[in-house]
Structure 1
């Protein structure tokens, strides 16, 4: 039986922090970009990053040295090839009805996120690493990096902590290595692929999903 709220009692605010590459998008857009435009050798740096032996920043700097692409080519590639989960737009509709906030948290790049949001006419707040072109070369910056931790370029755990300070209940949705730290602190976890395996290994309570259709069912319940 649902309890009625007393007069003056506020319902706790809720935010969904949602990973971007491989979660909102069907495939990891950064991986797609590198696979398409980087010369041989990038796989070595990617393996080191997956093992935790190289930070996102270090991996990015070395990988980008192997990239050969113009700003126009990259934008066109993203617009033509990067697709979002078939049910993500419906998920946004359901969370809006519930008055839940949705924020993108990505260890990828704003250039890609902005292009995808333009393609699908989306306007969502996001936190990510920065990428731009200067003199025909790709430049990157990491404004949300944790000063005491080298692993990720964008610290998702720090974003979670900021929302907690504002009185939010935090649900996290993700799939990969850059999500490991944050799921140990979220109120609810929705995981797939490598992240789901990590939650199993660490005994972290989570809801396994294949697409946002599964999360929609959960939210509607």
Structure 2
């Protein structure tokens, strides 16, 4: 089977979750309850994240972008990982519940933006509002926002072996339909508790080692 990779962004490609960092810096205190409700799966991702961003004035756009550029760090090894996937001919997609306005500036010199699936933030009203261009298909009713399982079903074929790389509860539905999961943090705990085939990672050098070992065995 041909490998294909779906990789999360916040907390996976970057060392921290950029939405959480933005909220800690710019949002009023009520964002924390929304965040907790999303992580505990009491409310949908799209509802929680949409409401969090609606707490922020659109006039903060330049300040937020500057803040993310100054504070977000790409996890070590990501550039080499992207180069490996190109050389090996392995399709690689970023699937993220994050926002275009901070993802694009962070990866546009490393990764083709045409292979990035994320949400769109708009700043033409008083408060920031979010557009969800990759909503759930008829097989998912979780109101994911950016529905990773739906994107996987749309792109991956029957002959593809899917890898999912992620870190959070927001990657769990995608992980459940993956051939193999490369996980850290909350997603790693979920993979262990649910018995999903997986390995843990901290850097993309770890991811590279895992992929090379698995693809060599398959070959």
TM-score norm. by structure 2 comes to 0.88
User: Does structure 2 conserve the Cα–Cα contact (< 8 Å) formed by 1:188 and 1:206?
Assistant: yes
Q: How far apart, CA to CA, are the structure 2 residues paired with 1:79 and 1:115?
A: 8
User: Does structure 2 conserve the Cα–Cα contact (< 8 Å) formed by 1:13 and 1:169?
Assistant: yes
Please provide the CA RMSD for this pair: 1.7
Q: How far apart, CA to CA, are the structure 2 residues paired with 1:93 and 1:61?
A: 34
CA-CA distance at 1:13 after TM superposition: 3.2
Which ranges of structure 2 fall in alignment gaps of 5 or more residues?
214-219
Any runs of at least 4 consecutive aligned residues in structure 1 with deviations exceeding 3 A, and if so which? none
State the match for 1:191 in structure 2: 183
1:91 to 81, 86, 89: 81
CA-CA distance at 1:167 after TM superposition: 3.7
State the match for 2:216 in structure 1: none
State the match for 1:3 in structure 2: none
The answer as to 2:34 corresponding to 1:45 is: yes
* SS class of match (1:85): coil
CA-CA distance at 1:112 after TM superposition: 1.6
1:208 to 200, 210, 214: 200
Q: How far apart, CA to CA, are the structure 1 residues paired with 2:201 and 2:119?
A: 26
State the match for 1:139 in structure 2: 129
CA-CA distance at 1:137 after TM superposition: 2.9
The answer as to 2:103 corresponding to 1:113 is: yes
* SS class of match (2:5): strand
The answer as to 2:55 corresponding to 1:66 is: yes
Q: How far apart, CA to CA, are the structure 2 residues paired with 1:45 and 1:192?
A: 23
User: Does structure 1 conserve the Cα–Cα contact (< 8 Å) formed by 2:166 and 2:187?
Assistant: yes
Query: Whose radius of gyration is greater, 1 or 2?
Result: 1
State the match for 2:145 in structure 1: 153
User: Does structure 1 conserve the Cα–Cα contact (< 8 Å) formed by 2:3 and 2:162?
Assistant: yes
The answer as to 2:3 corresponding to 1:14 is: yes
Deviates most, 132-141 or 168-177: 132-141
CA-CA distance at 1:135 after TM superposition: 3.7
CA-CA distance at 1:206 after TM superposition: 0.4
CA offsets, 1:105-142, max 9 Å, x none?
01111112112124x44324111111121145312111
CA-CA distance at 1:166 after TM superposition: 6.5
- Determine which structure has the larger helix proportion and give its number: 2
CA-CA distance at 1:151 after TM superposition: 4.0
Q: How far apart, CA to CA, are the structure 1 residues paired with 2:50 and 2:204?
A: 33
2:67 to 70, 77, 80: 77
